[in-house]
Structure 1
Amino acid sequence: MAAYVIAYDVGTTGIKTCLIEVTDTIKLVASATEHYKLYVMENGGVEQEPQDWWDAMCITTERVLEKSGLPAERIQGISFCAQMQGLVLVDKHGVPVRRAMSYMDHRAKRELKEGIANGLQIAGANVFKLLKSLSITGAVASSVKDPVWKYKWVERNEPAVFSKIFKWLDVKEYLICKCTGEFIMTQDSAFAALLYDTRKGKERFSETVCSMYGVDMTHLPRIVRSTDMVGRLTKEAAAQLHLAEGTPVFGGGGDVSLIGVGAGAVEPGSTHIYSGTSGWVSTVVNRQVVDASAMIAAIVGANNGTFNYFAELETAGKCLEWVKDHLALDEINIYLEKKHVSEAYESHYESLYDYMMDAIKNVPAGSNGVIFTPWLHGNRCPFEDANARGMFFNIGLETGKTEMIHAVLEGICYHLRWHLEAQEKKVKTSSVIRFVGGGALAPLTCQMLSDILGRDVETVENPHNVGAVGAAIVAAVGLGWIDKLGDAKDLIKASVRYTPNRMNKAIHDRNFKVFKALYKNNKKDFLLLNASK
């Protein structure tokens, strides 16, 4: 008999709720998406309303039940895949004491400098604190966007708010608290806080590291595994979600942990690339590895005993959203024939992104020499610079919108290649790359990535839903339907493979060299223009 779980993929700008059937395969039965606001402030703050996540979760749960016709009693568990390194500070009732601070928030420059970027430094961190943190956690909080500095920012700038804190949660942990009343944090989220002792037999929040950073350990919740049932739906939560009271709730995992599971890239040596709002390259390893100079670390995964060697790009698909809103669409309301595009769109295309992909399909590799840098909100890896920004380089009189949009896609792929090359300095990445996320829906992007990397690229069925699939597999393991997370490799098969076009690769090699030089050549100017923001 088929078993059913609901998996919540909680992203930066919206939640996708998926009703998934688990038998000897993983089947998507119904899905629904609801968007919410991201508040971007001039001082580097990026925040969200936690209540917006919950409201979106309730709305989409009702929708998937309506679409499927499945009664709530048939849902045997719920689980989560969510954005990571958020800071959700709540009181003893689980009510947020302020808006959540996103992983993108980078206003805590002073806190970072005073906390770790002082004295004798290596890779921007005090050498003594860096070595101590590396020996305990396998990583170091050396980015202005790391949660501990957001926490310290609140302590300094909002003391009245800080005094109300009961627990420090991440995004999915807040939603779990709303569901169950339990204050927990999964191991991968605890590691992402960069306060977690990863040494064998000592897996807990580290008193030493917390003391070094000035973190009150009473603010930290209990740690659970991703596959643990952490509680059951309360009567109040069940009523709002239109689910049955007592439905098991599982810990789930962060997007970095579970997207790889949903992609079927779970064995050591498996590499996957994700392109959603953000993007990354992640390779499964069986030991902790760190490259502090390139801001890459092996983070704790949902699959016990493995780590994800992870390099992040903060604005991947977000760049495509930007180009849609500000370049493809005419925001100053000048049209030759306003009806033309809308009629074509309504007749032939599922989305504006689909329309853009068709419009640029004949642009040659290299975008006729135009290069775009995808650092619209700074950059973290392989260089940390909150002041870095995007640019179009080498525009000529003959350059049109199609070349510029095409260059945006290439710029994202160039940066992902930079990540892959940085990873190769420490670990062996796989010869065939699994490519997932919304970016993998477009064959044009898949082929472009293959050409730029010079490697075969595979996609899976519904690549934009792999986070939810990973969350469903976690619940299935917790319920005893699947033995272990490693079995995902047998459940998730590749659907399409792309092989590199060697002629295109030669063009991309030339452009990639220029792409990397653009940051070095403009670093001082980025600082001059953006340091005060």
Structure 2
Amino acid sequence: MHALAFDIGTTGVKACLFRIQDTVTKLDSETSTYELHILPGGGAEQDPNDWWAAIVELTRLLRRRHPEAMGDLSGITFCAQMQAMVMVDRDGVPVHNAFSYMDQRASAEMKKQVGRGPRIAGVNAVTALRTLRRTGAVAASVKDPVWKYHWLRQHCPEEFQRGYKWLDVKEAVIARMTGKFIMSQDSAFATLLYDIRADRPRFDELTMKLLGVEPRHMPRIINSSDVVGGLLAKPAAELGLPVGTPVYAGGGDASLIGVGAGATALGDTHVYMGTSGWVSTVTDKQTVDIASMIAAIVGADPQRYNYFAELETAGKCLEWVRDHLALDEINVFLEKSDVTESEESIHSSLYDYLSEVIGRAEPGAGGVLFAPWLHGNRSPFEDPLARALFLNISLDTGKTELLRAVVEGVCFHMRWFLETQEKRVSTSSRLRFVGGGALSDVTSQILADVTQRPVDVVDHPQDVGAVGAALLVAVGEGMISGVDQAKDLVKVAASFEPNRANKSVYDRQFTAFKGLHKANKKLFQALNG
């Protein structure tokens, strides 16, 4: 059987064609990028038409290369960014650009809605406790989608009135493909309106009332491995695929990256470094740490939760380094001359070169610290005004130390997540490391050294979300009984053991790193408030 998986990210979409037999084999893949619109006041939006244009382009390209496989797909499936808010009309057409999970404009709307009186994590205590008991989470972050909903209502009332359903990213694409309005269970949970106590998937009526959400806007909830419907004639013609091709609900990146990483057993922990980053541990119980903004979220396997802590900008920090510290602005790239003229090749080779440069610096980056908060931070502290910074630069500091400090800073934040998660759950002694960051042996070794845990990397770690999505088709087709079997199908390609000699320097740096936000919080407020 063959499956076509779309991994819809913050800055681009990747289309992967898989053959699924005894294992999942990637036959081909292509990527197309699009823009993330950063707006005044903390806005972050995307044009859903950009997602569709990229999907059409990539599907037609793969169809030309693999006409037989693409003409006989067992299913189209998805892995996508989560906690966006896409309001669509009755025809499935967005009434406004999609609000990215990074959007943080709704501070005023949040303050108005949560009410006065004693507070927990910034939310009225009564509201917080009642919603926590019913949904397993609290909408305590200005980036949570319910506040984007209220921002649209307040600032674009005509568009809000035309809105028919509140969808997430992949659900908006599915509506365009099938004409049906649904959310997978993990997407529904991510709205923080999902009733975890019910015997069937549903949104909680009391929580919607407390948070001012109109129930008519919420779609039907289904399993990630369910078929939503067949591909309609118009989108089929655009994509060049057969009418009626099954379209699966798929899952969010926070759900499926762990599946594609093979981290599906109880207690398994994986670390992801893509545009964003996180640490996620599989648990069998609902757990929440409001103070640290960590919650056990519903995953693709409805019998399991993912105890999940997110960093808004992880690989994005490396992209920032590439664009603003490494490209020919400071001539760091001049040693590399054996590349083609294409931008993709230059950037790929540059990342390889950056790994070489980072590897030359001593562990601890000469005492330099980097805080990876380019667009605020959510966990283990919530502060939309926090920003990235370098600390402790001296006359001896060079670009190699600055570059290494960036990678170490992201890894320190991952260690902070592990340390914070350990207060509520047991994380695994070995870590699965995935995402674009895992393509670098240097980054993988730094992560092992910083956390002092062995790190395992799978084949094609940048594609694990799509692999997880493809496995949902295997579940839907009955080839495997559930996503928990993914652990047997995903193999480790490389392992990195922690260097004990680096423990003391990283312990020292990590202790200082954890104090950066507390020491600079008032400055962030003064500069960015």
Could you state the TM-score of these two structures normalised by the residue count of structure 2? 0.97
Q: CA, structure 1 residues 31+124, in 2 after alignment: closer, same or farther (shift >3 Å)? A: same
Would you say 1:239 and 2:237 are equivalent positions?
Answer: yes
Q: Aligned to 1:161, which of 152, 159, 162?
A: 159
Show the counterpart of 1:149.
147
Q: Which moved more, 1:350-359 or 1:10-19?
A: 350-359
Q: Among all aligned residue pairs of Structure 1 and Structure 2, give the percentage whose two residues are the same amino acid.
A: 53
Secondary structure at 2:108 match in 1: helix
Alignment of 1:70 with 2:64, yes or no, is: no
* 2:109 equivalent among 108, 111, 119: 111
1:308 aligns with 2:306: yes
**Aligned AA (2:121):** A
Residue in 1 aligned with 2:212? Answer: 214
Q: Is the 1:117–1:142 contact (alpha carbons within 8 Å) kept by the matching residues of 2?
A: no
Alignment match, 1:138: 136
Counterparts of 1:175-214 in structure 2, within 5 Å, are 175-201=173-199, 203-214=201-212
1:29-108 paired onto structure 2 within 5 Å: 29-108=27-106
- Residues 203-225 of structure 1: per-residue CA shift (max 9 Å, x gap): 31011000001101101111111
SS of residue paired to 1:311: strand
Q: Is the 8 A contact 2:370 2:408 kept in 1?
A: yes
Tell me which residue corresponds to 2:496: 498
- 1:270 equivalent in structure 2: 268
- String of CA shifts for 1:280-302, please: whole Å, max 9, x gaps: 00000001000000000000011
2:249 maps to a residue whose letter is: G
The 8 Å contact of residues 409 and 445 in structure 1, kept in 2 or not, is answered as: yes
- Tell me which residue corresponds to 2:9: 11
What is the CA-CA distance between 1:384 and the residue it aligns to?
0.1
The correspondence for 2:376, drawn from 378, 391, 395, is 378
Does the CA-based 8 Å contact 2:227-2:476 persist in structure 1? yes
Q: Is the 8 A contact 1:345 1:352 kept in 2?
A: no
Query: Quick check: 1:78–1:248 contact (8 Å CA) kept in 2?
Result: yes
For residue 20 of structure 2, what is the aligned residue in structure 1? 22
Q: Tell whether the 8 Å contact from 1:36 to 1:53 is kept in structure 2 after alignment.
A: yes
Give the CA deviation at 1:491. Answer: 0.5
CA deviation after TM superposition for structure 1 residue 116, in Å: 2.1
Hey, what's the Cα distance between the residues in 2 that align with 1:262 and 1:139? 25
What letter corresponds to residue 229 of structure 2 in structure 1? G
In structure 2, what is the Cα distance between the partners aligned to 1:117 and 1:268?
Answer: 38
Q: Deviations over 1:71-96 (max 9, x none)?
A: 53221211000000001111100011
Instruction: Tell me the distance in 2 between the aligned counterparts of 1:67 and 1:353.
Output: 28
Are positions 1:343 and 2:351 aligned together? no
Counterpart in 2 of 1:326?
324
1:450-497: CA deviation from partner (whole Å, max 9, x where unpaired): 000010110100000000000000111112222211110100121111
Deviation of the 1:335 alpha carbon: 5.7
Q: Deviations over 1:315-345 (max 9, x none)?
A: 00000001111111144xx769x9x445144
Q: Identify the range of structure 1 (480-489 vs 519-528) with the bigger mean alpha-carbon deviation.
A: 480-489
The answer (yes or no) to whether the contact 1:266–1:486 under 8 Å persists in 2 is yes
CA contact (8 A) 2:275 2:316 kept: yes
- 2: distance between equivalents of 1:48 and 1:335? 33
* In 1: Cα distance, 2:509 partner to 2:116 partner: 37
- Give the residue type in structure 2 aligned to 1:343: S
Structure 2 distance, partners of 1:164, 1:363, is 56
CA contact (8 A) 2:201 2:221 kept: no
What secondary structure, in the 3-state scheme, does the structure 1 residue paired with 2:244 have?
coil
The residue type paired with residue 447 of structure 1 is Q
What SS does structure 2 have at the residue aligned with 1:399? coil
CA–CA distance in structure 2, aligned partners of residues 345 and 446 of structure 1: 25
Conserved? CA contact 1:432–1:455, under 8 Å: yes
**In structure 1, the residue corresponding to 2:45 is in which secondary structure?**
strand
Mind listing any 5+ residue stretches in structure 1 that lack a counterpart? none
The residue identity in structure 1 corresponding to 2:235 is: A
Aligned equivalents of 2:459 and 2:201: distance in 1? 36
Once the two structures are superposed, residues 177-206 of structure 1 have per-residue CA deviations (whole angstroms, 9 ceiling, x without a partner) of 111011101110000000000114153101
CA displacement 1:412-443 (0-9 Å, x = unmatched): 00001001100000000000110000000000
Please tell me whether the aligned partners of residues 6 and 15 of structure 2 are also in contact (alpha carbons under 8 angstroms): yes
Superposition deviation, residue 359 in structure 1: 2.1
Residues 117 and 124 in structure 1, CA contact (< 8 A), matched pair in contact too? no
- Give the letter aligned to residue 432 of structure 1: R
5+ residue gaps, structure 2: none
Q: Which residue pairs with 1:463 in the alignment?
A: 461
Equivalent pairs, count = 525
Instruction: Say which is worse superposed, 67-76 or 94-103, in terms of deviation.
Output: 67-76
Q: CA deviation at 1:66?
A: 2.7
Cα distance in 2, alignment partners of residues 63 and 73 from structure 1:
13
Distance 1:342 1:461 in 2: 27
1:314 partner amino acid: E
Aligned residue runs from structure 1 range 280-429, under 5 A: 280-331=278-329, 340-341=334-335, 343-346=337-340, 350-429=348-427
Contact 2:62 2:70 in 1 (8 A): no
Moved more, 72-81 or 35-44: 72-81
